[in-house]
Chain A
């Protein structure tokens, strides 16, 4: 009996320290994607399918801490007046035609391959438990391979296979999975440049894993760090920001 308990205890030590490392890597990668604190950035999304013209849309994303995001739809004209609010894992959309905020799922598509959660909830460290699987070279960069499992049902993806650069903690690639284990899409981070006093990816390409050539590209630009009023992150205030 003693031996069994000891064996389990000893086996658990490397596992738990490994898990801690993995979470640390994900936290560092989160910080590379966006600063902590309060800021605004502009995001444009272009979506293309084989044989189809490219559709583009623009957003202004207001972030306050890891749990509060307000997204203003800027273009095209048919979308202006709409907005999205994410408080933790709760998301609402304000539609001028409805005149009220409506509850929507994080995983619901915003545009193209981009889910609401891709723009409104990027706190992987908060939403997923990470396990370090090993290392691998991706596009010539030595990367940690992390297995991210959703901590709760109310997140955008059930699982993510995350590739983070070993040296810089820059996210390089992510594979997004549904609860069934089906690969939904593959994301590639790119165009790193100095942005908010740090080198960050300014482009995320999301490719549909099933329909070849169906691609959405998120461009991140014009990041401004500034304090934002608390009222922006209240669903009853969404109409005021229309």
Chain B
């Protein structure tokens, strides 16, 4: 169950020093958080529009154990968040927030290679640095931020503005998965129930993918037979031409929340382009593979409506210029364009007085044959997924049980995530749960079928 003796003995000097540094960072976060405690208690100052510095903090310990044999720790992570908001005037607000973590699993075990430890052992990052100015119907937000588009829960169909950090798959909270960008977000209210929102960012960042050898490393399709030269990722520079932006118009019509959106930006997912550069003396072909990010035009829309006691939601996104890697040896560069439609239908509500249930159905439809495309999450021209979320409160609302079940209708790969949360006090949360995966190893969930895990969390908020 725990780390093996050999694991515990292993602790390189370098890593030990890093661990000490990380403990110091976590300690500082804890101390600052504790200092904030007195401030946070003084809620009265922030209520009723009183101006002042509002500080909030969170400290969380996450411990996960892999269920595959031999059972070993896969996470011993201390995470801290700090969030500050200063109202400068009635219409100007400054917000800053940061996050830091240390994952002790890289010191406790030798299960993960050095590149993974370097990437995931510690992090200290600014998550928000934003000036918000409102004037009449105009609301302007400038700075490092997340812009969240979409109606549905637990999905990124129309949530296209910020790139994502998938180093722990989609298991963390979505606000922690989104990578904030330096951008301008201007929203203009038209009348009582319509808003036009324009976003623009000069920053070019892509999805952060797990390193090779990490716990949630993605399935990699087989490389072409021959000698391979792997080129470095082509990173577009920060130029006006490479800047990204979009517009969203939302409106409430007779109780229906409707929105349409357009976003012009880079694909966060890299696609390997293949080029034959020559032959080895024995006649073996030499290929150069270069990860690249293609420009996309994304047109989408959402709707939401409460039809008591059920809420229905829907999202769609049509992506023009989407590229996929193909295994077809006759293809020039191993990359094919397939404009893609993603859509989602969802219905949820409270049933039997205490069961919060949401059922979602989503499909990805390629505008052409899936042919030799081999990418997780693409199981053919049409890929269908069902998701069910259940939650219930017990014991005077001190205990919440929940479960998330996602099943791919095409190949049967699945994710089941049961969870229990206990609130012993207003600021404290204790949780335990599991993430169970199954299915063929080249599918979205099946690729982690040997990464089932149980975890516990303790979180303190103030």
Which A residues contact B (CB, under 8 angstroms)?
A: 40, 42, 47-49, 52-55, 60, 72, 74-78, 80-81, 87-91, 96-100, 102-109, 111-112, 153-155, 224, 229, 231, 234, 236-237, 240, 242
B148 interfacial contact with A, CB 8 Å: yes
Of B309, B313, B398, the residue contacting A107 (CB under 8 A) is B309
Which B residues contact A (CB, under 8 angstroms)?
A: 40, 43, 47-48, 56, 85, 90, 93, 132, 134, 139, 146, 148-151, 153, 173-175, 178, 187, 189, 193, 195, 197, 250, 252, 255, 257, 304-311, 313, 349-350, 353-354, 356, 395-398, 423, 425-427, 429, 461-462
Q: Please tell me if the beta carbons of A78 and B429 are within 8 angstroms of each other in the complex.
A: yes
Q: Please tell me if the beta carbons of B252 and A74 are within 8 angstroms of each other in the complex.
A: no
- Given A55-B397, A154-B308, A236-B189: 6 more A-B contacts, CB < 8 Å: A47-B396, A76-B427, A87-B252, A98-B175, A99-B146, A105-B310
- Given contacts A89-B255, A90-B255, A236-B195, A78 and B148 within 8 Å (CB-CB): no
Q: Closest residue to B426 on the A side, CB-wise?
A: A76
Q: What residues on B are CB-neighbors of A55 within 8 Å?
A: 396-398
Q: What residues on A are CB-neighbors of B178 within 8 Å?
A: 99
Q: What residues on A are CB-neighbors of B462 within 8 Å?
A: 77
Q: Please tell me if the beta carbons of B429 and A104 are within 8 angstroms of each other in the complex.
A: no
Interface hub of A60, A100, A112 (most chain B Cβ within 10 A) = A100
Give the distance to chain A from B408, nearest Cβ to Cβ, in Å: 24
Q: What residues on A are CB-neighbors of B305 within 8 Å?
A: 103
Bound together, the chains give a CA A237 to CA B310 distance in angstroms of 25
- Given contacts A108-B349, A240-B139, A90 and B151 within 8 Å (CB-CB): no
Q: Closest residue to B43 on the A side, CB-wise?
A: A74
Give the distance to chain A from B352, nearest Cβ to Cβ, in Å: 12
Of A47, A90, A236, the residue contacting B397 (CB under 8 A) is A47
Q: Closest residue to B159 on the A side, CB-wise?
A: A100
Bound together, the chains give a CA A54 to CA B426 distance in angstroms of 12
Give the distance to chain B from A134, nearest Cβ to Cβ, in Å: 30
Q: What residues on A are CB-neighbors of B395 within 8 Å?
A: 49, 52
Bound together, the chains give a CA A109 to CA B353 distance in angstroms of 8
Q: Closest residue to A68 on the B side, CB-wise?
A: B192
- Given contacts A78-B427, A234-B189, A106 and B40 within 8 Å (CB-CB): no
Q: What residues on B are CB-neighbors of A42 within 8 Å?
A: 47
Q: Please tell me if the beta carbons of B313 and A103 are within 8 angstroms of each other in the complex.
A: yes
